[in-house]
Structure 1
Amino acid sequence: MDLKEIQNLIKFVAKSGASEVKLEMDDVKITIKTGSEEKEHTYMQQMPMGGQMQQMPMQQSQAPAQQEQSQAAPAQESSAPQGDDNSNYVTVKSPIIGTFYRKPSPDKDVFVEVGDTIKEGDVLCVIEAMKLFNEIESEVSGKIVKVLVDDSSPVEFDQPLFLVDPS
């Protein structure tokens, strides 16, 4: 059973309204649980040659990650400049969900630093989503005022990444 078939099975179970589905085929066991408190769990167990069970999470619940980020969001907002100072700046937001990286690779320099002047089309960072590295380009020209996300941190869709002074 490949990943695409597992994803289709998860979608089917979610649409069906079932709270739990177990599937056993040869040396693979899959359990999909859905519930009101948590989005969905998928666990895949493979039987190694030794006969012992190994449990490997394939897709974990998204609820704990959302709770962590909802707790972290107020701290980020309070550290950003407030009131009139913030109204002069353009906020560059994440177009996708993934992992934020300030460098093209670990041994290279960061794309932009606070105080750097950027122009439209300059690469500001990369966001890794499903092993693909997506370059995030600036849509405005100006000066980087603040980097709002730490390197190698998970980011959500539409999460503020940078503050840019367009003047």
Structure 2
Amino acid sequence: MAIERIMVVGAGQMGGGIAQVAAESGYEVVLNDISAELIDKRIDFIRSLLDKNIAKGRISEDDKVATLSRLIPSTDLADASGVDFIVEAATENMAIKEKIFRTLDEVARPGVILASNTSSLPITEIAAVTRRPELVIGMHFMNPVPVMKLVEVIRGIATSDATYATVKELAETMGKVPVEVNDY
């Protein structure tokens, strides 16, 4: 499945950075959070970062407009039904992540990879609450996401080779350097 539309769950610092980098890389990005106000603030912050990049000559006004046009706000996880890839960047709390992954597993199309930006929670445990553990993987971006190149791609026990290869390629298309990490 070609990845064209990505959902980022969590519009905090990490989720916003992931959304920015994905949108700058040409992907449509559904930026999801329970708070519409937080999403609006994050998009405004991304706009300010893009303005700074214009001032430094790194991007053009057209680049900024194109990036912002690819950011789609969402407060409903059901919007996951229309995306090709999902990365969760919610708070580091297993109960919250499990709830999100259960919902995403229900609404995302078959074959859609569910990634977590977790830095410390076991991918295998997160995957266990889904019916697609082979499609669950860690995709841990470093902070600040727009600057740092490294992305840990974290395999759970059941993560398939195809899932790993897809996420590795996705990270590379975002200008990142993926490093394989095993969760077991």
Bigger helix fraction: 2
With normalisation by structure 1, the TM-score equals: 0.23
Give the greater-gyration-radius structure (CA): 1
- The structure with higher relative contact order (CA 8 Å, sep 6+) is 2
Q: Return the TM-score normalized by structure 2.
A: 0.22
